[in-house]
Amino acid sequence: MNKIALVVNTISKNKDIWEMFFDQIEKHVPADFFSKKYVFVDRTEDKLPSGYEVVYYDTNKKYRDQFLSGIKHVKEKYCVYISEDYILYGDIQSRILDEYLSILDDNPRLSFIRFIKGGIANIGFPSYAGRKDLFELHHSIPYFYTNQAALWRTRDLEKIHQYGPNLHIANMDYENSFEWRATKTCQELDIRGLFCYHNEPKRGMYHYDCYVFPHVATALVKGKWNMLEYEKELSPLIEKYNIVLSERGLA
């Protein structure tokens, strides 16, 4: 069994996709891959699947404090962070993820390995240690910190939130959101990380697909279904779980 926890950050207003989300984890992740699984949530109006430790947060607090109240319960050295709209549509590559875990073990200066290549800062990223699938990120680039699926050194993820700005994850004024401002925190803490890329095709304007952790990134855009980018992956699941698209609408 690995020393990796699964950390799912969600909110009850998105409970309509919980069944789909958790079923896809069960389908595509080996049962013994994660040593423990956590859900951070405000309340559970519907029953969550067994096998998860539920940690409640206070919606009267901002995102940064909400996340801190959850991550302190995660005792495992490493965690995979995802949100409820990162829907898996293929089997994770557990062997490669084990390799990535060893890389973090061998290099304590690395804090994370992100499972997705971003498409905004499209500069030449140096390869890591001669590997063809891992590339170095420098905290001087925009969007160095992002809430995307990644393998994290748990205490470093906690530290970013501990020292980061007390803001919500996204605001209309994007430059005053936690996700934007946390890059400065990463600079101050000298956080370093990698991303993986296996020559996957680009998906939309902002990122590429992920072979290692095949997921929809993201299924919801401002609360509406992202069928524009993920119609092929989401359509059979929408049908299977009898989801009415018009209830949320399309992004």
Instruction: Show the tokens assigned to 30.
Output: 């080996």
Please count the other Cβ atoms lying within 10 Å of the Cβ belonging to residue 10: 21
User: pLDDT digits over 20-78, tens only?
Assistant: 999 999 999 999 999 999 999 999 977 799 999 999 999 999 999 999 999 999 999 99
User: pLDDT digits over 163-203, tens only?
Assistant: 999 988 876 677 788 988 999 999 999 999 999 999 999 99
Q: Going by C-beta distance under 8 Å and a sequence separation of 6 or more, which residues neighbour residue 83?
A: 8, 9, 10, 147, 218
Q: Which CATH class is domain 4-248?
A: alpha beta
Whether omega for the bond prior to residue 146 falls within 30 degrees of 0, making it cis, is no
- pLDDT level of residue 223 (50, 70, 90 thresholds): very high
Task: Determine if the pTM surpasses 0.75.
Answer: yes
Q: Give the start-to-end residue ranges of the domains of the chain.
A: 4-248
Helix (H) or strand (E) holding 181: helix 178-189
Where does residue 244 rank: exposed (0-12), middle (13-18), buried (19+ CB within 10 A)? exposed
Please count the other Cβ atoms lying within 10 Å of the Cβ belonging to residue 126: 8
Q: Is the pLDDT of residue 119 over 80?
A: no
Whether the Cβ atoms of residue 94 and residue 172 lie closer than 8 Å to each other? no
Euclidean distance between CA atoms 120 and 205, whole angstroms = 8
Task: Find tokens 């905004």 and name the residue.
Answer: 120
